Amino acid sequence: MGAVTFDEVTKKFGDVVAVDRFSVRIEDGEFMVLLGPSGCGKSTALRMIAGLEEVSGGILSIGERVVNNVAARDRDIAMVFQSYALYPHMTVAKNIESPLAANRKVRLPAAERATRVAEAAEILGLTDYLGRKPGELSGGQRQRVALARAIVRRPEVFLMDEPLSNLDAKLRTQTRLELVDLHRRLGTTFVYVTHDQVEAMTMADRIVVINEGRIQQVGAPQAVYESPANLFVATFIGSPPMNLISGKVSASAGGSVEVTTDAGTVTSTCSASLSKGADVVVGIRPEHLSLSETTSSGKGLRAKVENIELLGHERHVICSAAGSKIVFRQANDAAPVALGQEVTLDAEPDGTHLFDPTSTQRLN
Amino acid sequence: MATDKPITNPEFPGTDSAETASANAGTPTVESAQGKAVVASDLRPPKKSARHYLGLTGSYLLLTSLSVVILFPIYMLILRAVSSPLAYISAGQPLHPVDIQWDVFKVAFVDANLGRAMGLSFVVTMIIVTAQLVTATLAAYAFAFLEFPFKNVFFGLIVGTLLLPIEVTLIANVETIRRIGMLNSVQGLTLPFLATAVGIFLIRQGFLGIPSEIRDASNLDGYGHFRFMFKVALPMSKPIVGSFIVISFLGAWNQYVWPRFATDRQKWQTVQVALKTIGSENPERLNLSFAAAIVAALPLLVLLIFFQRQIVRGLTAGAVKG
């Protein structure tokens, strides 16, 4: 079975810890995305699954087999690289056949290899291109050859290292859908590395958010978006990012917490009881803020409109509120605000997140 | 993209059209054809100005005169080879042949023993080129792809041997060859040249140019060291290997000093030594020396024509992003 299990897996390059005690189980057949900024250790984690990097500590298993000391070629995995890594001197057919023919000891009979190559080419629409060299193909076609080379060996796990980043925006959107479709048809485990949150949100069954070598949160895309585990996840996922304002707890009772900030007071749904006067960071996504109808209630955040971005279907209004920048979304048919206008913003209590300023962890 | 056949796979509708569209974007012809705002004369190549033709004439003049500079000595070589030496000198050494004798090539090849010397040189050169190719490829592979202690030190030492001219090692090598009884033998002529730092350095550079992701991919595909070397690394380094073969061949074929010292019988003369002998044994027949030089250079000419593309690509490899 193609489950991948990290158990306290660590990778060190000299004194630098690239991957720090990873523990996560990627289920068989799951589309798991490793998401994080450049240099966070996500590619290193992927390369450890592939066997291209040695594991410095902990136990890494594929299926029920511990693979810490298993050679890359014996792991029953296939990988798609960012640059596609096609052999430039071989035809498309030879490139696709390569994993089946490379190792003479375990080589399949020629007829079987030809059938498999034809099948993989058919799945990815490459049948007409089998006689060409990679240099004669477009970026998107090369990308599909790389995918065909991966699926031809029918591995237990597919590994993909930012496979879409060399494609132009239009092709990227399209290939995203193709990959999701491919995953559905093959039903194999996919482990996909990206720094692009859109790719993560649109394709993943679950996301592992990584920063500075550590797992920050594991969960379904919507869950990660709706209840980020800490300040890093809160700001990394979502565009425009979540608004953050510092404040103090002014009341805490009956499943809700009132926080007073320099810009005003907000209420958050919070089952935990927080001590009065405690420092918190309030996080509110732009879509959970709206212009207040009643200005007299004394609640809400007072802000001044500084800039307006028009996106056609909606507007992003950028305001300053007691030294913090606050962005909120407005539908394009809502009454427009003017630059310099003083506004009061209401926050939805369910969309108001509270974080501990020292540990950065989520409080509610 | 223009020659691409459309993908008919129903699994990915629109796949090819999107790529074609993106490939066509930016080509002005599409838009202008639809707009029908193009006057037919606009489609003709623009009229060349007088300045353009002046520039063209200038560059042709320059290239022609450079060719003359390069080809003139070769012309003189052929001229003096076919002219009867005495008649040529008494005619005042003109720029045209005098009293042409075509059989001079045959005389040089057969009577002056050049044929035999060329045969021996060919054998020696083939052994040296093959051996250098094998040793350089294996060593380059180790230095490029394997990790072992003191790798950089060893590599530095090997490259350091490039700094030693043949004169430094000559006496010691001759003495060694003499002691093991290999004077006047093919072994003696080839042994000191079976490995070369130039080759190791060049081919290593070629191997280092292979992207690490290709190395990773072939690792996952299951290529072992030898199959990776033959199926991936060497084919991808073809231009560099090609130019190394030429360099190695030139070096081996043109060797003079070593064969001069490692042999002392006429039977074991290599081609360059034989050329020298022809000159000194026939001082009155200078045309024979010239003719022999031409014959001796023919294999190199064939080699250069054969490997021309590889050499240019090898020497400019890395200069232009592929």
Q: Based on the fold, state whether residues B131 and B72 are members of the same structural domain.
A: no
Say if B321 falls within a structural domain.
no
Say if B148 falls within a structural domain.
yes
Q: Based on the fold, state whether residues B82 and B202 are members of the same structural domain.
A: no
Query: The tokens 């792809």 sit on which residue?
Result: B145
Q: How far apart are the first and last CA of chain B?
A: 19
Q: Based on the fold, state whether residues B252 and B307 are members of the same structural domain.
A: yes
Question: Domain residues for B43?
Answer: 5-102
Q: Based on the fold, state whether residues B173 and B209 are members of the same structural domain.
A: yes
Residues with Cβ within 8 Å of residue A190, at least 6 apart in sequence: A30, A31, A32, A157, A158, A160, A179, A183
Say if B195 falls within a structural domain.
yes
Question: What is the mean pLDDT of the segment spanning A338-344?
Answer: 91
A316 falls in which pLDDT band (50, 70, 90)? very high
So what's the pLDDT on residue B44? 62
Say if B182 falls within a structural domain.
yes
A304 falls in which pLDDT band (50, 70, 90)? very high
Residue in chain B closest to A53 (alpha carbons) equals B216
Domain boundary among B74, B102, B130: B102
So what's the pLDDT on residue A294? 66
Q: Based on the fold, state whether residues B179 and B67 are members of the same structural domain.
A: no
Q: Based on the fold, state whether residues B116 and B40 are members of the same structural domain.
A: no
What is the Cα–Cα distance from B223 to B225, expressed in whole angstroms?
Answer: 7
What is the Cα–Cα distance from A102 to B215, expressed in whole angstroms?
Answer: 13
So what's the pLDDT on residue B50? 84
A99 touches chain B (CB under 8 A): yes
* Residues B211, A168: C-beta atoms closer than 8 Å: no
So what's the pLDDT on residue B314? 63
User: In the predicted model, what is the mean pLDDT of chain A?
Assistant: 92
Query: The tokens 């494609």 sit on which residue?
Result: A167
So what's the pLDDT on residue B42? 54
So what's the pLDDT on residue B113? 83
Dihedral (Cα; A269, A272, A277, A281), 10-degree rounding: -60
How many helices (H) and strands (E) chain B has is answered by 18, 0
B7 touches chain A (CB under 8 A): yes
Residue in chain B closest to A149 (alpha carbons) equals B221
User: In the predicted model, what is the mean pLDDT of chain B?
Assistant: 83
Domain boundary among B102, B129, B148: B102
Q: Based on the fold, state whether residues B170 and B81 are members of the same structural domain.
A: no
Residues of A in Cβ contact (< 8 Å) with B236: 87-89
Q: Based on the fold, state whether residues B78 and B219 are members of the same structural domain.
A: no
Q: Based on the fold, state whether residues B45 and B188 are members of the same structural domain.
A: no
* Residues A128, B5: C-beta atoms closer than 8 Å: yes
Peptide bond into A240 cis (omega under 30): yes
> Is the pLDDT at A307 greater than 80, yes or no?
yes
Phi–psi pair at B61, nearest 5 degrees: -60, -45
Residues of A in Cβ contact (< 8 Å) with B145: none
Q: Based on the fold, state whether residues B179 and B296 are members of the same structural domain.
A: yes
Q: Based on the fold, state whether residues B165 and B216 are members of the same structural domain.
A: yes
Spell out the per-residue pLDDT of chain B, length 322, in tens: 344 444 444 444 444 444 444 444 444 444 444 444 444 445 566 667 888 899 999 999 999 999 999 999 999 999 999 998 888 888 888 898 888 888 889 888 887 788 999 999 999 999 999 999 999 999 999 999 999 999 999 999 999 999 988 888 999 999 999 999 999 999 999 999 999 999 999 999 999 999 999 999 999 999 999 999 999 999 999 888 988 998 999 999 999 999 999 999 888 999 999 999 888 888 888 899 999 999 999 999 888 888 887 777 766 654 443 3
Domain boundary among B45, B71, B102: B102
Phi–psi pair at B27, nearest 5 degrees: -90, 115
| pLDDT tens per residue, range A35-54 | 999 999 999 999 999 999 99
Please state, for a pLDDT cut of 90, what percent of chain A lies above it. 77
- For residue A341, what are its two tokens? 């206008």
Contact A152, A117 (CB under 8 A): yes
* Residues B22, A170: C-beta atoms closer than 8 Å: yes
So what's the pLDDT on residue B9? 43
* Residues A81, B216: C-beta atoms closer than 8 Å: yes
B172 touches chain A (CB under 8 A): no
Q: Based on the fold, state whether residues B209 and B75 are members of the same structural domain.
A: no
Nearest CB neighbour to A103, from listed B16, B222, B235? B222
> How far is A73 from chain B, CA to nearest CA, in Å?
5
pTM beyond cutoff 0.95: no
Q: What is the number of domains present in chain B?
A: 2
> How far is A209 from chain B, CA to nearest CA, in Å?
25
Q: Which residues between 134 and 153 in chain A have a beta carbon less than 8 angstroms from any beta carbon of chain B?
A: 138, 140-141, 149
Q: Which residues between 297 and 316 in chain A have a beta carbon less than 8 angstroms from any beta carbon of chain B?
A: none
Say if B287 falls within a structural domain.
yes
